[in-house]
Amino acid sequence: MTTSAPDGFQHLFAKVDELESHFINRLRRAIRIPSISAYSESREKCFEMAQMLQEEMTLLGIQVQLKDIGYEKHTGLKLPPIVLGRYGQDPKKPTILVYCHYDVQPAEKSDGWSTDPWEMTTEDDGRLCGRGTSDDKGPLLCWLNAIEAFQAAGMDVPVNLLFLFEGMEENGSTGLRAALEEEASQFLADVDAICISDLVWAGNTYPSIAQGLRGVLFYVLDVTGAEKDAHSGSFGGVLSEPMSDLASVMSSMVDSKGRILIPGIYDTVRPVTDEEKDQWEKLGLSEGDLVDSINGRSLHSDLIEGLVHRWRKPSLSLHRLENAAPGAGATTSIPAKVRGKFSIRTVPDMDSAEVDKLVQQHINTQFRSLGSKNSLQINCVHQSDWFFEDSSHWSYQAAINATRNVWDHEPGLSCEGGSIPIALDLKQVLKKNVLLLPIGRAGDGAHSINEKLDKIN
């Protein structure tokens, strides 16, 4: 690997190259442990994975403790521990808290994988294929690789590192928030900045660093008519039908171009500046990149407008319109009770409470205008705020410089369309700058089949 990085780093990079097969073997061993947090029967594998991390980290001189966070309420199962680590405690250096997770999504060869998801393969084109390579065992172990390379090069790591690796990320991060609050004034007391490595580049070609996440409000909408489903022969036309009401109300909220039709919803949306759009040009994305991962059709806009939609505009998606009556039966029935599910993604500077008010107002107005005899209930069942970080902070600037040095390309500042709840939690509890530093690429297929990480990443 040759780059235009400062001279001292060439030596470090050479060590990385020397250690390559060692790093790959360590990742292979990690991938072999199917630490699926969502399945009770594989919960013990999460403990095995925590154990492996403890051993590997200890070998590198990291002080490790496995923090017991108790039991999972609904299963009674023990929660996988949070792996806490400390490397260096020099008061002259800044202290960076690194967050990753060591649990993974489920995977089975029969889901459509080309190879065994739990036996990592190294492909000729540099892909390392297996469940967890990109999300998030690969990025996690990169931090250990970095320390090992510094040690091999005889160089001093320029920061103190704290590690917080959790084992329940893919299952709701149960117990994490409480643990954070507990450790805020203990193990995490001297954190100066936070770095999350649980995301990917915005594209597949050039590196990027993320500074924003969208928030989300998730709604459940119930429309109830009779107590029983009705036969459409006997009752078609006679009653206000809940499904018609629901389809009407839900389709009144968004159009096919993704424009939300709820009055006032865009009022507080922060405009995207030309500078930001310039940043996005650096990402080297094509219009196809935005929809490739789902084999989608073309965007309903150009590339930059597509990015504005993904990162900086609110969106409203209709997820389900379901027959909600118990024992829902024949497809010729008129469902007596139906349930709609939709979510709104929020962006700076929207206020969740204000959005909720506008949504409720709009739905109630629309429903009243139908003149229906049915009843309607709106529930906002989940809510988390958007996140947008100050990229002029030294931590972001350091990450931008380091990325430029390694990749010989100025990284663009991107956002994520989705949420990373831990980012908000860390921000709220520790009140420090949170850097979103991707390791893998957009097309890695986290949560999907044939997940991979490119060796070079």
Residues with a catalytic annotation lie at 103, 169
Q: How far is the CB of 155 from its own copies (least distance, A)?
A: 38
Binding of its own copies by 137 (CB under 8 A): no
What is the per-residue binding string for its own copies in 208-237, x denoting contact by CB under 8 A?
------x-x-x------xxxxxxxxxxxxx
CA 300 to chain centre: 24
DSSP helix/strand/coil, 383? strand
Binding of its own copies by 38 (CB under 8 A): no
Name residue 230's beta-bridge partners: 334
Is the CB of 166 or the CB of 241 nearer to its own copies?
241
How many of the chain's residues bind its own copies (CB under 8 A)? 75
Binding of its own copies by 319 (CB under 8 A): yes
Distance CA 203, CA 172 (A): 26
CA 92 to chain centre: 33
Binding of its own copies by 407 (CB under 8 A): no
Is the CB of 158 or the CB of 418 nearer to its own copies?
418
Contact segment (CB under 8 A) with its own copies among 6-14, 114-122, 277-285, 319-327 equals 319-327
Phi and psi angles of residue 333, each rounded to the nearest 5 degrees, phi first: -85, 160
**Pairing assessment for the beta strands 127-129 and 208-213 based on DSSP bridges:** unpaired
Q: Which of 121, 205, 248, 383 binds its own copies (CB under 8 A)?
A: 248
Q: How far is the CB of 107 from its own copies (least distance, A)?
A: 13
Question: Which of 282, 336, 325, 322 has its CA nearest to residue 304?
Answer: 282
What is the per-residue binding string for its own copies in 328-367, x denoting contact by CB under 8 A?
---xxxxxx----x-x-x----------------------
Is the CB of 26 or the CB of 309 nearer to its own copies?
309
Q: Which of 58, 65, 240, 286 binds its own copies (CB under 8 A)?
A: 240
Contacts (Cβ under 8 Å, ≥6 apart) of 444: 133, 134, 135, 200, 451, 452, 453, 454
Binding of its own copies by 136 (CB under 8 A): no
Binding of its own copies by 110 (CB under 8 A): no
The DSSP symbol for 169 reads: G
Q: Which of 196, 254, 272, 434 binds its own copies (CB under 8 A)?
A: 254
Binding of its own copies by 94 (CB under 8 A): no
Q: How far is the CB of 224 from its own copies (least distance, A)?
A: 9
Q: Are the CB atoms for 168 and 178 separated by under 8 Å? A: no
Residue 2 burial by Cβ neighbours in a 10 Å radius (0-12, 13-18, 19+): exposed
Binding of its own copies by 277 (CB under 8 A): no
3-state DSSP helix/strand/coil % of the chain, to nearest 5: 35, 25, 40
